[in-house]
Amino acid sequence: MTMRLYTVLCDGQEQVALGCGASGEGLCLLRDLGIEVRDMNDLICSGRIDEVRAKDPEKCAACRSMDSVKILAPIPEPRQDLVCLGVNYAEHAAESHRYNASLDSTATATVYFSKRVNRATAPGDPVPSYPGLVDSFDYEVELGVVIGKDAKDVSEEEALDHVFGYTIINDVSARNLQTRHSQWYRGKSLDGFTPMGPCIVTPEELGDVQDLAISCRINGELRQNSNTSLMLQSVRGAIAELSRGMTLKAGTVIATGTPAGVGLGMDPPGFLKSGDVMACAVEGIGELVNPVE
């Protein structure tokens, strides 16, 4: 069954919705399927996803068109900072090191950092460019992993059992702030710097998460074009490693790193300016498009 989960603004309220129709062209609000949840975090943490699975969205009498609602980020307000993997594709590690030697390409252990997300940016919404503060605005398409049940000391074999679903994240970065401070937190965490969406796809729909095309176009030009098979640390490996000694709570969002082709890797660097359009895509999930304000 198609399981594409959205957060939408409908009648002035945030609602969780299920993609419906033969090609996922419509939406059913969970409310109209008899499932009342406060938001996506509540759906994840309550375990009521099995009730959603039991519904047949083809038979929903209240199927709406996508155009009749405003699609928001699937988790508009994550309960905790995002956990991010840095330099998790070899070619991106190399281009990062060429740009600034402080961005280490020789790390022998996975680089983890965090990203503040007061509110994730909705598909289609502009990302602030902060003139006067940011002089090197960059994009990073990433596969996002949403944890579905608390994970503590899980093995790699068990790790994917803790995944609720997958989404697309644009890890927007201010390179001047990222490299000015010895930790990346500030340069990654400005308000609006986390476009997410357009939906969460459940694992059974997606197939092998380590074999998905991942790409980003800027104003239509293909800049990033890779495959999740090239991650240095896998999704299952990251969950297992992070969960050793640290609980990954349900609702945690993990951004799994970006492949080569970001602005800092170009000669001269291809940083973005107001009016540029970023289109991030991951096979089986869709496309996340945001202009630079």
- Asked whether 273 and 260 are in contact (CB, 8 A), the reply is no
The residues of the shown chain that bind Mg ion, judged by CB under 5 A, are 140, 171, 258
User: Of 113, 87, 26, 19, which Cα lies nearest the Cα of 233?
Assistant: 87
Measured CA to CA in angstroms, residue 156 lies from 8, 86, 112, 152, 241 at distances of 34, 20, 18, 12, 8
Distance of closest approach, residue 131 Cβ to Mg ion, in angstroms: 23
- Asked whether 52 and 33 are in contact (CB, 8 A), the reply is yes
Cβ proximity to Mg ion: between 125 and 140 the closer is 140
Cβ proximity to Mg ion: between 2 and 114 the closer is 114
When CB distances to Mg ion are compared, the closest residue is 171
Distance of closest approach, residue 44 Cβ to Mg ion, in angstroms: 23
Q: Please, what's the largest Cα pairwise distance for the chain? A: 58
Distance of closest approach, residue 103 Cβ to Mg ion, in angstroms: 11
Cβ proximity to Mg ion: between 15 and 256 the closer is 256
Distance of closest approach, residue 101 Cβ to Mg ion, in angstroms: 18
User: Of 73, 226, 235, 233, which Cα lies nearest the Cα of 145?
Assistant: 235
11-47 residues labelled b (16+ CB within 10 A) or e (exposed): eeeebbbbbbbeebebbbbbebbebebebbbebbbee
Distance of closest approach, residue 47 Cβ to Mg ion, in angstroms: 30
**Angle 142-261-116 (CA atoms, 0-180°, nearest 5)?**
40
Cβ proximity to Mg ion: between 140 and 241 the closer is 140
Cβ proximity to Mg ion: between 112 and 130 the closer is 112
Cβ proximity to Mg ion: between 171 and 241 the closer is 171
DSSP 45: H
Distance of closest approach, residue 171 Cβ to Mg ion, in angstroms: 3
